[in-house]
Structure 1
Amino acid sequence: MGSALTTVGLPVALGIIMFGLGLGLTLADFARVAKHPRAVIVALACQLLVLPAICLGLVALFQLPPLLAVGMMMLAASPGGTVANLYSHLFRGDVALNISLTAINSVIAVVSLPLITNLAIAIFDPFDDQLGLQLSKTVEVFLVVLGPAALGMLVRRLAPGFADRMDKPVRVGSFVVLVVVIAGAVISNWDILVANVASLALITALFCVASLAIGYFVPRWLGVGRRQAVASSFEIGIHNAVLAIVIAQTVLGSIEVSLPAGVYGVLMLFIAGGFGWLIRDRRAASDAAEPVAA
């Protein structure tokens, strides 16, 4: 628990990832939401209200132990990230909307993540007086989430050419650091992970499927365009598992709370890919059957 991998490596990995995210963001990304206000409002409502409620229902249905239940709720409160942008690009979603949603969600998460986490702790009562996101820890979450991203945005503002050149190296570097750190964390906590993976695989898979489906079908039902719905689906369905792991292990100091995010982080890659193929096939069939609208 106190290894350098978890206390130093994970925050560094997240910091590099968030810095890379900031290199690709400008203030225009926040202003762009005015072009698709309905899509943004629907996506945020699903992210902040619907998903935590569904996650709470799944946790009650599966009767998870308190610490794992808190970990699931923390995962539900985590925003999307760069992986969501990648999947949206692969399956022809509105990537610009993804970037805007990621930026807004990252800011909102500074408040919503501690709020939902503390609510989960109050509900499930994990019998640990030290478990909770008090004011000082909430400030720590703020620094972990927004500090590197703001620095990346500042670099892009002052040196856009340098930011463009560094975009790919930072992405590759963040991936390498992340793989090394996560692999080390898994190896060092292998016994705990094996003991809990059976109870977490099904609930995390169901939560991922529910997140993707809600992110796609609810916006479509409310009249949002297909490309925006695809973007919403991946933004809502692919949670930032790394953020949840970092906060659980370094801020809350609990490996058990980080386990749902760890299992989810692996399964979501395959589930999101399958879901993307599914909605792509449906879109192709719809385009073949319907005349193209101007």
Structure 2
Amino acid sequence: MPTLQLLFNAVTVIFIATTMFAAGLGATLAALRAVFANVLLVLLVLLANLIAIPLLGWGVAALFGLPSAAFIALLLIASSPGGPFGAKLGMVQNGDVAAGAAMQVLLAAIGSITFGPTVNVVLQAANVGGGVALDVPKLMLTVVILQLAPFAVGLIVRHYAPSTALSWHPAAAKTSNVTFLIVLAGMLLGNWRDVVALIGSLSLLAGFVFGGVAFALGTALATGPWTRRTTMGGVAAVRNAGPALAAVGIAFGNEPAILGALAAVLLSGLAAALPTAAVLSRRRATPPQEGRPSSQPLRQRR
């Protein structure tokens, strides 16, 4: 059993690091500057993801009367913005991919610093967690090393050796996707009894409602065309599992009940966000692609 736990932890580290490394390889300074120049959009996205959605998680957990483990799991997820699948939801819905990727990276970077204090405040205010307080400096150090450093390395490679970055990106993205599925499967299989026990507690429904409302909230608190606003909704709905997993390990000793609840909340949230993105995709005939114009301008240039 200790060997399996070590293997799970190793795969989790690989997932977090490769996800942020792939994000750095896929980003450009020009694209980041263009999105970040829209100050109102940035402020609204930060308001939604750093304040409104953590409060939403607390409200949903309290509304459904979740048991302690599921309550903690939902609060951890709600307080962790910048999930790597957020930008991918922009692709699924044929939205503003460049803005989605830029905001996901920004939220992951800022969230690595704000996650610990936010979770501490919400856990204490909600009076859950058995009085356990997160070791904020240790958690900050963990998420900074696993997220900010790999992203910075990827961004540097993209800036100074773009051909190398483009050749590395598919492998890094594939590794991120595969390890995410392994981590999710490990959480479910290793804690399946706890996941099954959540069915009667409405925890899965709470996660589904949280994902759907977070999508709507992220869309409402955004500016620009509808494609950009719904892309921000996808970024808001998909939270960052990395800091949440680190918090479970640091503050709760990888408690199986919380890990199982975390997996259940992540899955049910994706179950709400993915169909929404798919419906939006069917309604959009000409998907905007990052760095590639539409077919009509291409024919005109020819």
Compute the TM-score of the two structures, normalised by the length of structure 1: 0.85
Deviates more, 1:228-237 or 1:264-273: 264-273
Partner of 1:91: 93
Distance 1:197 1:32 in 2: 45
1:274 aligns with 2:275: yes
Distance 2:64 2:36 in 1: 40
For residue 211 of structure 1, what is the amino acid of its counterpart?
Answer: A
Write the deviation string for residues 118-175 of structure 1: whole angstroms up to 9, x where unpaired.
113323242254x513322321122122122122222223322111011111111222
Partner of 1:71: 73
Partner of 2:129: 126
Give matches, 1:4-23, under 5 Å: 4-23=6-25
What is the CA distance between 1:197 and its match in structure 2? 4.2
Distance 2:68 2:175 in 1: 36
Change in Cα spacing, 1:283 to 1:26, as seen in structure 2 (3 Å) is closer
What is the CA distance between 1:27 and its match in structure 2? 2.9
Change in Cα spacing, 1:115 to 1:257, as seen in structure 2 (3 Å) is farther
Distance 1:107 1:235 in 2: 14
What is the CA distance between 1:103 and its match in structure 2? 1.8
Partner of 1:288: none
Change in Cα spacing, 1:217 to 1:264, as seen in structure 2 (3 Å) is same
Write the deviation string for residues 228-279 of structure 1: whole angstroms up to 9, x where unpaired.
2021111111222x32452234333233333443113223333223212444
Write the deviation string for residues 76-101 of structure 1: whole angstroms up to 9, x where unpaired.
12123332222212322111111221
Count of paired positions: 279
Give matches, 1:183-222, under 5 Å: 183-199=185-201, 200-219=203-222
Partner of 2:242: 243
What stretches of structure 1 of length at least 5 have no aligned partner?
A: 285-294
For residue 203 of structure 1, what is the amino acid of its counterpart?
Answer: A
For residue 50 of structure 2, what is the amino acid of its counterpart?
Answer: L
Distance 1:197 1:160 in 2: 48
Q: CA contact under 8 A between 2:143 and 2:243: conserved in structure 1?
A: no
Compute the TM-score of the two structures, normalised by the length of structure 2: 0.82
Partner of 1:58: 60
Partner of 1:161: 163
Q: CA contact under 8 A between 1:30 and 1:100: conserved in structure 2?
A: yes
| % identical equivalent positions | 23
Q: CA contact under 8 A between 1:39 and 1:229: conserved in structure 2?
A: no
Give matches, 1:219-238, under 5 Å: 219=222, 224-238=224-238
Distance 1:236 1:78 in 2: 10
Change in Cα spacing, 1:150 to 1:194, as seen in structure 2 (3 Å) is same
What stretches of structure 2 of length at least 5 have no aligned partner?
A: 286-302
Change in Cα spacing, 1:85 to 1:115, as seen in structure 2 (3 Å) is same
SS of alignment partner, residue 81 of structure 1: coil
Q: CA contact under 8 A between 1:244 and 1:258: conserved in structure 2?
A: no
Distance 1:128 1:9 in 2: 30
